[in-house]
Amino acid sequence: MLVPQQKSSWNTKQLNNQQPKEIIKIKGVYMRGKTFITSCCLFALMACGTAFAQQHKLQSGPYRGTIGPMVAPEAPAVPDAVFYSNFVVDPCTGFRYDVNNGFLLLGPNNCGIPGTTQWLAEPFVSRGSGAVTKVLLSITNWSICTPTSNKFTVQIYDDANCNGLPGNPLGTPVTATSPAAPPATATANFGTTGPLLTAGVKYWVVVTTSAASSQNATTAVWWEATTSIEPFNLNDGSGWQLGYIGGPGGFQVQ
């Protein structure tokens, strides 16, 4: 069973709290002899390893709904206004992102996996210096159901800890709306109050849901960037296989 990360502190506190349950279960068995004790210890390690293996993000799979109309992308205000982008138009589909896989952005009252919350973050290195005015994201509703809310929160974080996790929030968070279907994109408008970025510095785009009625039932997908696909070939006569391994979501910071 998938165990989504529901904590906003971006740590493994939830996982650590689960581990003693396995250990207590093993200690509750009547043990005779050193051999059995050793076996129990090994089993405990295997159980802990399994718990760690299960701690991963919930994926959406391919988009199955009706594709929306093609919309021309917005042009940046000036040529150097884009701090980062992994949007690349696929000439086969005309889309700026891939809809064969993505990660779920969920409020607790979502209609896909009720009771489950999942927030997401993607890192980027700013190619210029200046204030963020807008973030575009390849986020749309999940096609398996019709959610009763479609908004979510977007904020820029720093990378203060250099540990592969978002650091400290920068500036003020803004609200974005998840479109009904691809190939549309969600837009987070920071206006004139966006955080200041420095060229060559690593930051994070973080998307979350709040307890507000406009967000707590959000059921969305952050679709992968076009370049996230990695086909593989085992040289066994089967040829090339599709490799949607769960790469970064598509987004643009400007």
User: Is the pLDDT confidence value at 165 over 90?
Assistant: yes
CA atoms within 13 A on the CB side of 243: 12
pTM: 0.73
Asked whether the beta carbons of 198 and 179 are under 8 A apart, the reply is no
Closest CA relative to residue 144, chosen from 119, 113, 115, 173: 113
Tell whether 94 and 37 lie within a shared domain.
Answer: no
Q: Which residue type does 226 have?
A: T
Q: Can you give the residue range of the structural domain that contains 17?
A: 13-53
Instruction: Say yes or no: 117 and 219 in one domain.
Output: yes
- Domain identity same for 172 and 220: yes
pLDDT digit string, tens, across residues 26-65: 223 333 333 333 333 333 333 333 333 345 656 656 666 7
If asked whether residues 218 and 172 sit together in one domain, one would say yes
- Residue 68 tokens read as 């929306």
pLDDT exceeds cutoff 60 at 6: no
Domain presence at residue 187: yes
**Side by side, which strands form the sheet with 219-225?**
97-106, 219-225, 139-141
Distance CA 222, CA 207 (A): 9
| Predicted local distance difference test score (pLDDT) of residue 68 | 65
Residue 3 lies in a domain: no
Measure the CA–CA gap between 140 and 199, rounded to whole angstroms.
30
Q: What's the pLDDT score for residue 71?
A: 66
Q: 86-124, pLDDT tens digit by residue?
A: 999 999 999 999 998 899 999 999 999 999 999 999 999
The residue among 5 and 197 whose pLDDT is bigger is 197
Give the amino acid at 46. Answer: M
Q: What is the 3-state secondary structure (H, E, C) of 57-77?
A: CCECCCCCCCCCCCCCCCCCC
Predicted pLDDT of residue 46: 39
Evaluate whether 195 touches 132 at the Cβ level (below 8 Å).
Answer: yes
Please check whether residue 67 lies inside any domain of the structure.
no
Same domain, 151 and 206: yes
| CATH number of the domain encompassing residue 207 | 2.60.120
**Count of structural domains, the chain:** 2
Model pLDDT, residue 228: 80
Residue 94 inside a domain? The answer is yes
pLDDT tens by residue, 221-244: 999 999 887 888 999 999 998 776
d(CA 221, CA 229): 17
Q: How does the average pLDDT of the chain come out, rounded? A: 79
Residue 59 lies in a domain: no
Q: Is position 71 within any domain?
A: no
> Do 191 and 91 share a structural domain?
yes
Give the pLDDT score at 243. Answer: 75
Whether pLDDT at 201 is above 50: yes
Phi and psi (nearest 5°) for 26?
Answer: -70, -40
